[in-house]
């Protein structure tokens, strides 16, 4: 295995910097990469964070994995990338300096825009080596996501990995054009997308669930020694989800929070004017669980406010809430 011109030998742990471009100041910008290669052949897995530069939870997940003394790779290779969009992390921005979304710029081009060049380098130097990938994300600015896995759950191998990750909700999500997930799949790499928390903030539950989830997947692939789990979360699969939008412009008073089960027509929030009058409500269009929500208490009419996923299993409602509470209790121990 050769990455950034450096050979990675069996049994070796290596930290390197993958050059991508320069700043205006002629300062090199490099993607940090931490590689752990087992002594025996096996699958190669990448774990990436901060494809969107303001999504910081994943950075901490990767940092903790690197520092975890018990993380010993017996078979195969683990490639940990704490930040892909280094430019965005520096400026605390979702985007690249050319205002492009890196996660809509894959597979990229070595002669394209800055975003396209970074995408091309990351795909060629990291993803094409790998059999599996886990891409770590959070909600966008002023939005929070319940810990969840999004993936092509129609693929049995991907579904098995998603179940092993160990969060209550799996969302069978369409692949977006230009995304890292699309490019990875086309390169023959099965990939999970972990969503949890919000931009520019650390959320301890989301971070610990991410560390545990990555470790669970590596254990499932036989790359690390399996630890006995006290409780195993049985996830539910959501094949559909929708955003409920603001019915008026005003000041928000939430009625529901992340992880709550809601019935069709139930009030998710009230919208009021500066004088305290209620001028609108936001209602659930379907029964389901709140997997994402806006945090800022000010809205314009039409703003997306609550992301609700729904399930075919009639018992999913109470079970998911119970599983989420179990996840919280397990991680807090």
pLDDT one-digit tens code per residue, 29-81: 999 999 999 999 999 999 999 999 999 999 999 999 999 988 999 999 999 99
Is there a single domain that holds both residue 194 and residue 264?
A: no
Using CA atoms, how far apart are residues 189 and 170, in angstroms rounded to an integer?
Answer: 19
Q: Which stretch of DSSP H or E encloses residue 117?
A: helix 114-125
Summarize the confidence of residues 178-191 as an average pLDDT: 97
Summarize the confidence of residues 327-333 as an average pLDDT: 66
CATH of the domain at 273: 2.40.50.100
Using DSSP's 3-state secondary structure scheme, residue 255 falls into coil
8-28 tens-digit pLDDT: 999 999 999 999 988 888 889
Contact between 104 and 176 (Cβ < 8 Å): yes
Please count the structural domains in the chain.
Answer: 2
Is there a single domain that holds both residue 112 and residue 259?
A: no
- Compute φ and ψ for 296, nearest 5 degrees: -70, 135
Summarize the confidence of residues 297-313 as an average pLDDT: 92
Within a domain: residue 323?
no
**How far from each other are the two terminal CA atoms of the chain, in whole angstroms?**
39
Is there a single domain that holds both residue 177 and residue 274?
A: no
Is there a single domain that holds both residue 11 and residue 113?
A: yes
Is there a single domain that holds both residue 116 and residue 164?
A: yes
Within a domain: residue 317?
no
- Two structure tokens written together for 1: 């295995």
- Compute φ and ψ for 197, nearest 5 degrees: 85, -160
Summarize the confidence of residues 320-327 as an average pLDDT: 67
Nearest by Cα to 181 from 127, 114, 140 = 127
Is there a single domain that holds both residue 64 and residue 210?
A: yes
Residues with Cβ within 8 Å of residue 238, at least 6 apart in sequence: 169, 170, 171, 172, 288, 289, 291, 309, 310, 311
β-sheet bridge partners, residue 132: 45, 190
Is there a single domain that holds both residue 29 and residue 130?
A: yes
Q: What is the pLDDT of residue 332?
A: 64
pTM: 0.94
Contact between 6 and 39 (Cβ < 8 Å): no
Q: What is the pLDDT of residue 127?
A: 98
pLDDT at 330 exceeding the cut of 80: no
Is there a single domain that holds both residue 123 and residue 214?
A: yes
115-141 tens-digit pLDDT: 999 999 999 999 999 999 999 999 999
- Compute φ and ψ for 208, nearest 5 degrees: -65, -40
Within a domain: residue 294?
yes
Using CA atoms, how far apart are residues 310 and 72, in angstroms rounded to an integer?
Answer: 38
Is there a single domain that holds both residue 146 and residue 279?
A: no
C-alpha torsion angle, residues 280, 284, 290, 291 (rounded to 10): -100
DSSP letters for 180-241: HHHHHHHTT-EEEEEEEEETT---HHHHHHHHHHHHHHHHHTTSSPPPPPS-----EEESEE
Q: Which domain holds residue 281?
A: 241-310
CATH of the domain at 90: 3.40.630.10
Using CA atoms, how far apart are residues 68 and 47, in angstroms rounded to an integer?
Answer: 15
Q: What is the pLDDT of residue 333?
A: 64
Is there a single domain that holds both residue 56 and residue 191?
A: yes
Is there a single domain that holds both residue 42 and residue 90?
A: yes
Domain endpoint, select from 186, 220, 254: 220
Is there a single domain that holds both residue 185 and residue 253?
A: no
């Amino acid at each position: 295995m050769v990455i950034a011109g450096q050979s990675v030998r069996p049994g070796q742990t290596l930290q390197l910097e993958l050059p991508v471009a320069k700043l205006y100041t002629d300062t090199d910008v490099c993607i940090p990469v931490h590689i752990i290669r087992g002594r025996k052949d096996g699958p190669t897995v990448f774990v990436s964070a901060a494809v969107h530069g303001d999504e910081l939870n994943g950075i901490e997940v990767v940092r903790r994995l690197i520092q975890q003394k018990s993380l010993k790779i017996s078979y195969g290779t683990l490639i940990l990338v704490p930040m892909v969009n280094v430019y965005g992390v520096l400026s605390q921005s979702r985007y690249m300096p050319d205002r492009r979304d890196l996660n809509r710029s894959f597979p990229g081009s070595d002669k394209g825009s800055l975003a396209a060049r970074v995408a091309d380098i990351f795909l060629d130097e990291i993803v094409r080596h790998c059999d599996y990938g886990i891409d770590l994300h959070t909600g966008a600015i002023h939005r929070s996501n319940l810990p969840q896995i999004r993936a092509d759950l129609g693929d049995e191998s991907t579904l098995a990995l998603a179940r092993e990750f160990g969060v209550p909700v799996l969302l069978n999500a369409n692949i977006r054009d230009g995304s890292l997930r699309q490019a990875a799949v086309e390169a023959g790499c099965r990939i999970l997308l972990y969503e949890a928390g919000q931009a520019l903030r650390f959320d301890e539950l989301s971070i610990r669930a991410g560390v545990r989830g990555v470790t669970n997947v590596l254990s499932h692939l036989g790359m690390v020694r399996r630890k006995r789990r006290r409780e195993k979360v049985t996830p539910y699969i959501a094949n559909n989800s929708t955003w409920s939008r603001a019915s008026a412009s005003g000041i928000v008073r939430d009625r529901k929070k992340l992880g709550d089960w809601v019935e069709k027509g139930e009030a998710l929030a009230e919208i009021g004017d500066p004088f305290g009058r209620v001028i609108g409500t936001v209602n659930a269009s379907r029964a389901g669980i709140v997997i994402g929500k806006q945090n800022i208490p000010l809205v314009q009419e039409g703003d997306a406010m609550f992301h609700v996923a729904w399930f075919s299993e009639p018992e999913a409602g109470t079970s998911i809430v119970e599983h989420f509470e179990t996840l919280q209790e397990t991680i807090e121990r």
